[in-house]
Amino acid sequence: MELIKDSCTGKKSKYTSMQVELAKSNGFRPYIVNPGRSRYTGYWKANKPHGFGARHSFNGVIYDGQWERGLRHGQGALRKLMPDNTYKRIYVGQWKYGQKCGEGVQYYKNGVYFGRWKANKRDGLGMMIYSDGSQYVGEWKNDLWHGAGVLFQENGNRYEGYFAKGQKHGEGIFYHLRTGQRQKGIWQNNNCQVSIMLDCSRNQANRPTPYPMPKSELDKPDELIYELFREFFPEENNAEVNFAVTKNSVLNVFSG
C-alpha cells in the first residue's frame, strides 16, 4: 500500500492510510483524557465523540448525552459539580451541533425556563417561572419576550398582549387585581400610551380608581381611542376575537 505524507515535513511517512484509520478512536472507550481540559467516556467515531457519551470538564461542568462529530447533538443534560459535591442542573433538552436548539429546560439563578431554543437563545414559544413569583408565557426572540404573551406579576396583576424586545409593546389588556379593573390600550416600551379603564363586571365604579392614568404621548390619541372603542361594539368585535385566539393559542401550548 502507498505510504501517506507527513503533514509537517511533506515527506512520505512509514504509515499507510489504512494504518492511520485503524489508529483512530472508534467505538466505545471507557476513559480518555484531554490534558488540562476534560475527560470523556463514551462512543467515538474518527477520533471524535459520536453517539452517547459523558464529558467531565475540569471546571466541574458535566455533559451527558448524544454527540455527533465531536459536538453536542441530540438529547443531553448539562450540570455542574458544586463544592459540596452536589450537582446543579443547568440545561436539559435538545442540542444541534453544539448549541441549544429545540425543546429544553434551562435553570437560572432567578428562575426556570421551559420552551423552545434556537442558537443557544430562547426563541419561539416558552414559559419562564421567576423566583419572585412572576411568570411569563408566550413568544420569545433572542432571549427576550417578543410577540404575543401573558405576564403574571407577583402581586396578582396580569397583562395579556404583545411584547417587543422584552417590554410591553403594542395592543394589550392589563388586569388590576386590587381595583378589579381592566385597562385596555396601546403600550410602547413598557409605557401605556393611551387606554380605557373598565370594571371587569362593567358596572359603574362608585369612586375614582386609585390607579394613576399615564399621560398620553401620542400625536393623535383621539384616533386610537376611537379604534379601541370600536372593539366593544358587537358589530365591530373582530379585533377582540382575533386577539383572544392568539392568546389562547399561546396558553394551550402548556395545557394537557
pLDDT in tens, 123-161: 999 999 999 999 999 999 999 999 999 999 999 999 999
SS (H, E, C) the chain: CCEEECCCCCCEEEEEHHHHHHHCCCEEEEEEEECCCEEEEEEEECCEEEEEEEEEECCCEEEEEEEECCEEEEEEEEEEECCCCCEEEEEEEEEECCEEEEEEEEEECCEEEEEEEECCEEEEEEEEEECCCCEEEEEEECCEEEEEEEEECCCCCEEEEEEECCEEEEEEEEEECCCCEEEEEEEECCEEEEEEEEECCCCCCCCCCCCCCCCCCCCCHHHHHHHHHHCCCHHHCHHHHHHHHHHHHHHHHHCC
Which pLDDT value is given to residue 72?
98
Assess contact for 39 and 46: CB atoms under 8 A: no
pLDDT in tens, 184-225: 999 999 999 999 998 765 444 444 455 444 444 455 555 655
What pTM was computed for the model? 0.69
pLDDT in tens, 7-21: 545 555 554 554 445
Which pLDDT value is given to residue 28?
67
Which pLDDT value is given to residue 60?
94
Q: H helices then E strands: how many in the chain? A: 3, 17
Which pLDDT value is given to residue 220?
56
Cell numbers found for residue 31: 476513559
Mean pLDDT of 243-256: 37
Mean pLDDT of 37-41: 89
Q: Which amino acid is at 120?
A: N
- State how far Cα 98 lies from the chain centre: 17
Mean pLDDT of 87-97: 97
The pLDDT of residue 29 is above 70 = no
Give phi and psi for 109, each to the nearest 5: -65, -30
Please give the domain boundaries of the chain with CATH numbers for all domains: 15-108 (no CATH), 109-256 (2.20.110.10)
